Amino acid sequence: MTDKVITRFAPSPTGFLHIGNARTALFNWALAKSLGGEMLLRIEDTDKDRSTDEAIAAIITGMDWLGLDYAGEPIFQSKNIDRHTEIANQLLSEGKAYKCYATAEELTQMREKAKADGRPMVYDRRWRDRPESDAPANTPFVVRIKAPTSGEIVVHDKVQGDVHFKAENLDDFVILRSDGSPTYLLAVVVDDHDMGVTHILRGDDHLVNSARQITIYNALDWHIPTMAHTPLIHGPDGAKLSKRHGALGVEDYRRMGYLPETIRNYFARLGWAHGDEEIFSSEQFIEWFSYGGLNKGASRIDFAKMENVNAHYIKASEDARLFDLMVSLAEEIEDETALKGLTKHAETVREALPALKTRAKTILELNKAAEFIFAARPLAFEDKALAATQGENLDILRNVQPVLQGLNDWSHDGIDAALRAFAEQNDLKFGKVAQPIRAAVTAKNASPGCFDVLLLLGKEESLSRLSETTAV
């Protein structure tokens, strides 16, 4: 019988839920599900100075928003510290780890020497073989693991292939600090083992850690999980995604009006491929997921592409859901005008959604596009819309007003017939009439077409707007 597949997502709660980490979660989620297993969430909160409750909340709500479910409750690494310490002491008593009394000055010397020799700093193992009787009294010590001194450590990576590390470059690293606290390298191995993790998939910035952690697995004679490291996400300029590129946290994407299915689809595609498929559902992603599809190189985020994916999912969304998202986004970003307008004109906005959603790339754009429905008069015109209501167009608008005023049948067909007759009488192309009307009643450069907006606004509001625009 093979073990049930268990993956884990193990973020450190020191800030927002970074989009790169969210993608690691997404891959772990798909990996687990594609193999009939489950993903666990472990919050690595041992660094009490840097971990915050807000960051923990951001991780949990971010996962929830993305629809990445995990088995059971989140596991807090800080609760396992006694167990980490117990394992460190076990390694110590088995002679697989040792107390190191090297002072800060000694370590600085080692570092400077390494620098002068142009090689990475490796602790020179000066306490590895010294007898306990050499230990200075009442002096703090760290516990170091006895790492192999020669040969290689090989990480059998499912994405990169075998990655070889020379033992001489990996030194006897610390597993317990001088204050008795376990290090990250130890804590992760112990937790992964205790949680029954069978597959580790994380960013390739952890590759060297994996090599070190293999030393711990071997010392404990524990089974090494299957490992995979994915390249990081880069910004459009090819540099590692950073603050400079904006949009680092999952919540930034939500606040920009992206849908969770866009994030799942686009960010999966950014580091993984199944043929040429660009748009796929999460079910397809899970079905198609395999290590072989993961990229070996870093991927560049392309916001234009991502917007197109979002436009696709907006178009495919139910109007009722979109309306709710518009309201909750207005709430989240404290856009009082939109919030009031959407609530007051809920019915009209819902009616407008089939037309609005074909043009919007984000929920934010959808809110902007709906503004003309609840905009306060006098309307604040966008430049091109204003231009479209001036000059000869102003005459057209003035002349068409009585025609619309006298129209009793305020329906698509009624308006169509009246405007066509007007255009004909004045020897104008239909668009020459429709376009200024659309601009005059919406004040927007882009909006649904003339009929749609007149019908949505109704006769009274449309005519009030028209007369206000032409009153100048």
Give the residues lining the site for ligand GLU (CB under 6 A): 10-12, 44, 188, 202, 206
* C-alpha closest to that of 186 among 155, 223, 220: 220
Sign of the CA dihedral 336, 337, 343, 349? negative
Q: Which of 48, 158, 243, 305 is the catalytic position?
A: 243
B/e letters for 307-328, b = 16+ CB within 10 Å, e = fewer, are: bebbbbbbeebeeeebbebbbe
Q: Please give the Cα distance from 74 to 196 (Å, whole number).
A: 15
Q: Is 10 or 456 the residue whose CB approaches ligand GLU more closely?
A: 10
Q: How many CB atoms lie within 10 A of CB 205?
A: 12
Number of CB atoms found within 10 A of residue 369's CB: 23
- Do residues 234 and 240 make contact, with C-beta atoms less than 8 angstroms apart? yes
Strands 75-76 and 233-234: unpaired
- 182 phi/psi in degrees, rounded to 5: -70, 150
Query: By C-alpha distance, which of 362, 351, 428, 364 is closest to 397?
Result: 428
Please report how close the Cβ of residue 15 comes to ligand GLU at its closest, in angstroms: 10
C-alpha to C-alpha distance for 98 and 91, rounded to whole angstroms: 8
* Residue closer to ligand GLU, measured from CB, 271 or 448: 271
185 or 407: whose CB is closer to ligand GLU? Answer: 185
**Min. distance of Cβ 219 from ligand GLU in angstroms?**
18
Nearest to 172 by CA among 107, 232, 263, 254: 107
The gap from C-alpha 425 to its chain's centroid, in whole angstroms, comes to 56
Burial of 55 (0-12, 13-18, 19+ CB in 10 A): buried
48 is catalytic: no
When the beta carbons of 96 and 202 are compared against ligand GLU, the nearer one is: 202
- Beta carbon of residue 46, minimum distance to ligand GLU (angstroms, whole number): 9
CA angle 100, 93, 181 (to 5 degrees): 55
Query: Taking the complex as a whole, how short is the minimal distance between the CB of residue 7 and ligand GLU, in angstroms?
Result: 10
* Residue with smaller CB distance to ligand GLU, 43 or 97: 43
Question: To the nearest whole angstrom, how small is the minimum distance from the Cβ of residue 431 to ligand GLU?
Answer: 56
| Residue number with CB closer to ligand GLU (173 or 313) | 173
Give least dist CB 191 to ligand GLU, A.
Answer: 9
* Whole-number Å distance between alpha carbons of 58 and 18: 10
- In the complex, least distance from residue 12 CB atom to ligand GLU, rounded to whole angstroms: 4
| Strand order across the beta sheet in which 199-203 lies | 75-76, 38-43, 6-9, 199-203, 226-230, 152-157, 161-166
Which of 202, 269 has the CB closer to ligand GLU?
Answer: 202
Provide the CB-side half-sphere exposure for 401 (13 A, CA): 19
The nearest distance, CB 380 to ligand GLU, in angstroms, is: 46
Q: Which is nearer to ligand GLU, 24 or 435 (CB)?
A: 24
Residues assigned a catalytic role: 243
